[in-house]
Structure 1
Amino acid sequence: MSTGTIPLPRTGAVPLGSRGIRGARRWGALIILALAQLVVVLDGTIVNIALPQAQLALGLTDGQRQWVVTAYALAFGALLLLGGRIADYWGRKRTYMVGMIGFGAASVFGGLAQNATELIAARGLQGVFAALLAPAALALLTVSFPGGKERNTAFAVFGTVAGTGAAVGLLLGGVLTEFADWRWCLLVNVVFVLAGVIGGFLFLRESRADGENRYDLAGALTVTAGLGSLVYGFSLAEYGWARLDTIGFVVLGVALLVAFVVIESRVAQPLLPLRVITDRVRGGAMLLQAISGSAMIGGTVYLAFHLQIVLGFTPLVAGVASLPMTIVIMLCAPVLTRLLPVIGPRPMMIVGPLIAAAGLLYLSRITPGGDYFVEVLPGLVLLGLGMANLFIPMQNLALARVAPQDAGVASAAANSAMQIGGSIGLSVFTAFYAAAVATVDVTDGPSQLAAFTAGYSATFLAAAVVMAAGSVVAFFMIRGTKEHLLPSGDGGPAVHLG
């Protein structure tokens, strides 16, 4: 599950074909672009429910199982900034079409996968094409609805689809896994892709940013390789933190990210202008994006395993049982949005992570024979309440006081932080899971369930510690009056990814 923003087109550039689309064609474009957004978001969660079945079918190890989730989030997050640049420079409709077709092909590849390597590679390719599709879709929406009440309506529809995509993924994943086969959680994308491609030809117009445009390829290569090396190094911690390969890949990842910072400080058109993240408040908000991503993606993936493997829920029931957190977030969002200008973002961003940490701590108390309504549901409600208090102000601060020309890249950086945080979090939590499982002497079925439960409990506890650290980050980095932190009129629209 993911929450964040995707990049807006660069403000100040004169887009080719930016006069918009009139009449029914414009609303057809909205439907198609909202569908594209739904595909990107639901694929972050639809596979979670199918993982236990996929693990049995393909003989995945626990490490390979987490990479089915990590590969998508890592590729998506690492390449999102570059995807936004490609859409602006190469053409938004063209990028959309390539992203949509490529996403469909990767989904078919994953649905037909015969081993772990093929499935993980397919998920990574899905992430690559999602990084093209998502920013192109939002940019096309902005061009199609350049202003007025219709623009507000379009963004409301688009945002609602994005906000409900994760829940749709959980439910659809449960239905397909239970009544068809886990492979259909990937193959179902073909239906969305066919509609998106046909609709793209019928309703979308080409647009791109004019002027001298250069790709920051050196920056793209170093940040992608750096993040990949870092996540891979952490995933090896499952076999030991002191191993040479674990330390080597982590150190290599850090070195490449340092090189990325050096490159961005010197190139004329950087992939990520450093001024976007060096602001203390904005940098703190993006660090909190990464922390919340680690808990949401890294921590709650194991919830699906506990519900199905330990509690014995069917995939559909497990999907429904995972929804309370999302429902609480959606119910709290309107209230907290009205409350934000009254009390300011700082109190919500300090208290929110603590409530979420309490929810995760509650979940860490699970037992092999526990009752869902006693041991799981209260934790999910607390987690949803805490995340809602964090998400609402965090999205605003990620774009507050940013220069107009940096609005798109700031939005993309915030979402990238969420995805990368989830990738790193899942890798680290898997190491805690493996260590906890190894402490249980497995002699029969019940003891194996006890071992699994110990592992899941360890991941929830680790995620709780990370979320509590987020409150400390907010206390020291989110400083200033509410008027200073949220000046009127700044930021522009931010669209949530789920």
Structure 2
Amino acid sequence: MSSGLLTIGLPVMAVDLGLDDGLLLWPASVYSLASGCCLLLAGSLADLLGNRQINLIGCFGLSISILACGLARTGIEFIVFRALQGVVFSLCLPTAFSILKECLPPGKQTNIAVGCFGLGQPLGFSVGLVLGGLFEATAPGWRVGYYLTAGLAFILSLVNLVNLPSTLQRAPWSWQRFRAEIDWVGLLLSSGCLGLFSYVCSAITSDTAAIKKPQIIALLALAGALAPMFLFWMNRQEKHGRPALIPNSIWQNKAFTSICLVVLLSWAVLNGMETFLSLFFQEVQDLPPIQAAIRFFPNIIIGIILNFGTGVFVDRLRADHLVIVTSLLSAGSPLLMALIQAHWSWWSCAFWAVLISPLSADVIFTVANLLISDLFTPTTQGLASAVFNTVAQFGTSIGLTVFAILSASVTKQSKYENKASPEALMQGYRAVFWMSFGMMICGCGVSAWGLRKIGKVG
């Protein structure tokens, strides 16, 4: 819901909060970035303390952070609160999947449960879109949507407090286990690398010429140096039988590595398409928020059908065929938007682009989680799920950053004197759509190469 509110309300929020154009996409990308940085730590804490406890902390923290977003007074405050929301969300995602796996037997029941788990994303997103469009037409504005979402999150947290089952029995908690069973060095190296890289992306997003500044070059080089150090540390930890944040051996499974690459590309394109479709409707076609929200309905309906349908039928179809076909269809969405003209009617291209945009990501979510169940033992499923979700979140964050840089650069170099005009903005958006098309075609190639032997899952 909060993501839907942001997607439809971003142009109005930017004006109200004084958000600089160079930071326009950061409320969306910093959420995924913060979540991705903390998912692995959340998984480690859940293994130590239990899934129920960590999930409840995340649920209550989520309601507080969403409320804070509604109370933000400046653009920077809003970005900070969105980052906080990403941190607490990371406590909810892997633990929810683990609780499902612990409580349900393998087979059709779990397949449908995982599909319904994925169903929450398009369903909540749709509610956020519609409410965001409605509330922006009222006097209180976009903030009401965040107050309502925070209230619902708090109520659901209380429901979870009463109803979530106790998870598997674990050894008693102690400070010694807290120090010894979590790979703190690995967390520091990975967070440092990704944090520095994200700062560089932020600086480049607001000013592409900043890439030439000595301090930016130094930080980028440091981030690059931390990456091989992380791999070396993972190898050392695994070799000596010590806790490793992401053991290098996990990437030896070709199917898992391939599905992670595909989800990286798919999530980047999905979230980029949703954001830039909203900007296209409002900034290029000059539609009010509620009209833009209505145009996302095909995306919502197909997302709901796909998530539930995949859970029901996934065990009857080859997983690689599912992923490849839906990825090819999803590639048509940015292609249509790359060819569209601003004066064309919604039914000409935009309707079909909205309709097929979520096909790949929605199917991959269910397939990937069931694939993890099939490929990994119960002791390593939580780690694999955390890695998968980390990749998905960073796909969103890095994708939005790259798209923002590309869009701003192309718009700045366009022939139009007024760089804020619909014509100039469309030049940048079109470049993003072409890049998204290329990324989806790459995803199809990776799927065909890495998933061809997995057969059926679930």
Report the TM-score when normalising by structure 2. Answer: 0.85
Kindly provide the CA deviation profile for residues 368-401 of structure 1, in whole angstroms up to 9, marking residues without a partner as x.
3332221311222343445556555444444442
Match of 1:256 in 2: 226
Deviation at 1:353, TM superposition (A): 2.9
- The answer for unaligned runs of 5 or more in structure 1 is 1-41, 490-498
Deviation at 1:227, TM superposition (A): 1.9
Match of 1:383 in 2: 357
Match of 1:37 in 2: none
Kindly provide the CA deviation profile for residues 397-430 of structure 1, in whole angstroms up to 9, marking residues without a partner as x.
4444222211111122112111101111110111
- Tell whether the 8 Å contact from 1:55 to 1:65 is kept in structure 2 after alignment: yes
- Tell whether the 8 Å contact from 2:23 to 2:202 is kept in structure 1 after alignment: no
Match of 2:431 in 1: 458
- Tell whether the 8 Å contact from 1:349 to 1:394 is kept in structure 2 after alignment: no
Is 1:72 the equivalent of 2:31?
yes
Distance 2:125 2:2 in 1: 8
Relative to structure 2, which stretch is displaced further, 212-221 or 71-80?
Answer: 212-221
- The answer for unaligned runs of 5 or more in structure 2 is 172-176
Deviation at 1:144, TM superposition (A): 5.8
AA matched with 2:86: G
Match of residue 208, structure 2, among 225, 231, 240 = 240
Cα 1:444–1:357 change in 2 (3 A) is same
Is 1:172 the equivalent of 2:131?
yes
Is 1:426 the equivalent of 2:395?
no
State the SS of the aligned residue for 1:44.
helix
Deviation at 1:157, TM superposition (A): 5.2
Relative to structure 2, which stretch is displaced further, 315-324 or 134-143?
Answer: 134-143
AA matched with 2:350: V
State the SS of the aligned residue for 2:323.
helix
Kindly provide the CA deviation profile for residues 212-234 of structure 1, in whole angstroms up to 9, marking residues without a partner as x.
66111222222222222223323
AA matched with 2:388: A
Match of residue 87, structure 2, among 87, 105, 128 = 128
AA matched with 1:226: C
- Tell whether the 8 Å contact from 2:234 to 2:246 is kept in structure 1 after alignment: yes
Match of 2:248 in 1: 274
- Tell whether the 8 Å contact from 1:226 to 1:253 is kept in structure 2 after alignment: yes
- Tell whether the 8 Å contact from 2:7 to 2:274 is kept in structure 1 after alignment: no
- Tell whether the 8 Å contact from 2:49 to 2:170 is kept in structure 1 after alignment: no
Distance 2:359 2:279 in 1: 23
Matches within 5 A, 1:385-424: 385-387=359-361, 390=364, 393-424=367-398
Distance 1:200 1:307 in 2: 38
Cα 1:329–1:247 change in 2 (3 A) is farther
Distance 2:193 2:290 in 1: 38
- Tell whether the 8 Å contact from 2:38 to 2:87 is kept in structure 1 after alignment: yes
Distance 1:148 1:101 in 2: 32
Match of 1:53 in 2: 12
Cα 1:187–1:340 change in 2 (3 A) is closer
Is 1:181 the equivalent of 2:141?
yes
Cα 1:338–1:147 change in 2 (3 A) is closer
Cα 1:397–1:435 change in 2 (3 A) is same
- Tell whether the 8 Å contact from 2:119 to 2:308 is kept in structure 1 after alignment: no
Equivalenced residues, count: 443
Match of residue 307, structure 1, among 281, 286, 300 = 281
Relative to structure 2, which stretch is displaced further, 80-89 or 45-54?
Answer: 80-89
Distance 1:479 1:150 in 2: 26
Distance 2:432 2:250 in 1: 32
- Tell whether the 8 Å contact from 1:233 to 1:246 is kept in structure 2 after alignment: yes
Deviation at 1:305, TM superposition (A): 1.1
Match of 1:495 in 2: none
Report the TM-score when normalising by structure 1. Answer: 0.79
Match of residue 88, structure 1, among 41, 44, 47 = 47
Relative to structure 2, which stretch is displaced further, 335-344 or 395-404?
Answer: 335-344
State the SS of the aligned residue for 1:88.
helix
Cα 1:147–1:114 change in 2 (3 A) is same
Distance 1:335 1:104 in 2: 30
Matches within 5 A, 1:17-28: none
Distance 2:100 2:249 in 1: 27
Cα 1:132–1:441 change in 2 (3 A) is same
Deviation at 1:326, TM superposition (A): 3.6
Deviation at 1:364, TM superposition (A): 1.4
Cα 1:107–1:306 change in 2 (3 A) is same
Cα 1:430–1:386 change in 2 (3 A) is same
Distance 1:259 1:417 in 2: 19
Deviation at 1:56, TM superposition (A): 0.8
Q: Percent identity?
A: 25
- Tell whether the 8 Å contact from 2:307 to 2:366 is kept in structure 1 after alignment: yes
Match of 2:422 in 1: 449
Distance 1:188 1:198 in 2: 16
State the SS of the aligned residue for 1:369.
coil
State the SS of the aligned residue for 1:300.
helix
Is 1:468 the equivalent of 2:418?
no
- Tell whether the 8 Å contact from 1:50 to 1:185 is kept in structure 2 after alignment: no
Cα 1:405–1:250 change in 2 (3 A) is same
Distance 1:97 1:341 in 2: 32
Distance 2:318 2:265 in 1: 21
State the SS of the aligned residue for 1:114.
coil
Kindly provide the CA deviation profile for residues 112-164 of structure 1, in whole angstroms up to 9, marking residues without a partner as x.
21212111000000011111133344445555667999878866654543452
Deviation at 1:298, TM superposition (A): 2.6
Match of residue 182, structure 2, among 203, 215, 229 = 215
Distance 2:236 2:441 in 1: 36
Deviation at 1:348, TM superposition (A): 3.8
